[in-house]
């Protein structure tokens, strides 16, 4: 058996999922991050350094694994032996509208929505997500059902507070950084805080195409931003940290990262690994799992 075969057969997410889904440490880190974010916004309001080109302050927040807990979907991937599939199982999961809240998310967002600057203007919240446009309606319903403030979830970038992957700004930009720039420039909002679980939520210097060692060095370069304008949340399950790892040649001639985190491989609806069960790996029994997927069997 080749090295690539052995790597592709592993379920590297199991312990990470147990930590993310059950640990008090994960719970505490989310509460800690939201508390720090709250303090930073109050600092900005006290300083009141609104630029001449801005009408009011705003914050940007990622959704998945920042405000929304999708551990039951990620547990399903391991239990079913599947890869992440953006237009398949992931879209079906998003349409189900069953994402839960991370610890402290509702309280923080509701408090931010109630804040006002010295001119009486609200601190606007903009959700900027990698979810596809076709799940916008379900995502809006999910956010509102969870009690998160969403004044406008429509597709018009001039008025929306929810930017999806591929939302096109009037200048033609479609990426998160384009959305940030559009809100700050054309919509005249001054960002005071970014929330995210993947460092690419903050800067393209942390894109998954950037090698892992360079991403690490860039985190040190940006040390003044952490805990001040950028608040990072814990996610050991998926993200740029795995996708940025070196590549391995697979037997079929394609490549995969050495991380092989069930997201980094080929996006397919087919079973690609042996499905794990609590009988084989008892710790899986403590995980919540997405039970109502139409494709219930491996």
- Nearest alpha carbon to residue 13 among 84, 74, 80, 73: 74
Give the dihedral sign, CA 178/179/180/185.
Answer: positive
Q: 246, exposed or middle or buried, with CB in 10 Å at 0-12, 13-18, 19+?
A: exposed
Q: How confident is the model at residue 13 (pLDDT cuts 50, 70, 90)?
A: confident
Cβ neighbourhood burial of 129 (10 Å; 0-12, 13-18, 19+): buried
Per the prediction, the chain carries an average pLDDT of: 90
- The answer to whether 64 and 129 are in contact (CB under 8 A) is yes
- The Cα–Cα gap between 12 and 238 comes to 10
Residue 60 clears pLDDT 70, i.e. is over it: yes
Question: What integer pLDDT is reported at residue 11 of this predicted model?
Answer: 64
d(CA 166, CA 170): 12
Position 3 confidence tier, pLDDT thresholds 50, 70, 90: very low
Cβ neighbours around 66 below 10 Å, total: 24
Mean pLDDT of 115-138: 97
d(CA 140, CA 143): 5
Residue 65: what pLDDT?
98
Task: Quote the tokens at residue 253.
Answer: 């001639």
- pTM listed for this prediction: 0.92
Q: Which residues pair with 68 in a beta bridge?
A: 64, 101
pLDDT of 230 reads 98
Query: Above 90 in pLDDT, residue 194?
Result: yes
Closest CA to 79 of 248, 220, 284, 222: 284
Look at residue 81 in the predicted model and tell me its pLDDT.
Answer: 84
In degrees to the nearest 10, what's the CA dihedral of 30, 36, 38, 39?
A: 170
Q: In this structure, what is the dihedral angle of CA atoms 168, 266, 23, 62, given to the nearest 10 degrees? A: -10
Topology adopted by domain 3-286 = Rossmann fold (3.40.50)
Least confident of 45-49, 101-105, 235-239, 250-254: 250-254
260 pLDDT more than 80: no
Q: How confident is the model over 92-117, as a mean pLDDT?
A: 97
With CA atoms as reference, report the closest residue to 175 among 157, 184, 163, 185: 163
pLDDT above 70 (res 107) = yes
Q: How far apart are CA 13 and CA 82, in angstroms?
A: 12
CA distances from 219 to 163, 198, 229 (A): 26, 12, 14
pLDDT at res. 295 = 60
Q: How far does Cα 98 stand from its chain's mean position?
A: 16
- The 3-state DSSP class for residue 168 equals coil
Three-state DSSP at 60 gives strand
Tokens of residue 55, six digits: 């009408």
Mean pLDDT of 203-211: 93
Is 9's pLDDT higher than 70? no
Q: Which residue has the tokens 């005071």?
A: 192
End-to-end CA distance of the chain: 24
Q: Is residue 5's pLDDT more than 50? A: no
Confidence of residue 8 (pLDDT cuts 50, 70, 90): very low
Q: Give residue 161's pLDDT.
A: 98
What is the token pair recorded at 138?
Answer: 């379900």
The tens digit of pLDDT for each residue in 139-150 reads 999 999 999 999
């Amino acid at each position: 058996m080749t090295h690539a075969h052995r790597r592709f057969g592993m379920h590297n997410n199991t312990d990470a999922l147990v930590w993310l889904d059950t640990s008090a440490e994960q719970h505490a880190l989310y509460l800690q991050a939201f508390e720090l974010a709250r303090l930073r916004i109050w600092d900005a309001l006290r300083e009141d350094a609104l630029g001449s080109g801005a009408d009011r302050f705003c914050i940007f927040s990622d959704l998945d694994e920042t405000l929304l807990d999708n551990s039951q979907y990620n547990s399903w991937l391991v239990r079913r032996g599947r890869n992440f599939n953006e237009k398949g199982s992931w879209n079906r999961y998003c349409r189900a509208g069953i994402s839960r809240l991370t610890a402290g998310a509702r309280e923080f967002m509701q408090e931010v929505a109630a804040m006002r600057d010295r001119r009486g203007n609200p601190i606007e919240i903009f959700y900027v997500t990698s979810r596809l446009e076709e799940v916008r309606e379900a995502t809006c319903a999910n956010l509102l059902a969870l009690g998160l403030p969403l004044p406008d979830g429509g597709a018009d970038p001039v008025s929306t507070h929810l930017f999806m992957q591929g939302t096109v700004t009037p200048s033609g930009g479609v990426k998160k950084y384009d959305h940030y720039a559009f809100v700050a420039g054309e919509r005249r909002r001054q960002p005071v805080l970014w929330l995210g679980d993947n460092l690419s939520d903050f800067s393209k210097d942390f894109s998954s195409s950037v090698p892992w060692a360079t991403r690490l060095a860039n985190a040190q370069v940006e040390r003044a931003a952490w805990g001040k304008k950028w608040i990072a949340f814990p996610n050991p399950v998926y993200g740029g940290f795995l996708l940025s790892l070196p590549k391995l040649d697979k037997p079929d001639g394609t490549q995969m990262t050495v991380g092989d985190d069930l997201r980094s491989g080929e996006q397919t609806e087919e079973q690609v690994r042996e499905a794990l069960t609590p009988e084989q790996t008892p710790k899986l029994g403590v995980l919540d799992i997405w039970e109502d997927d139409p494709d219930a069997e491996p």
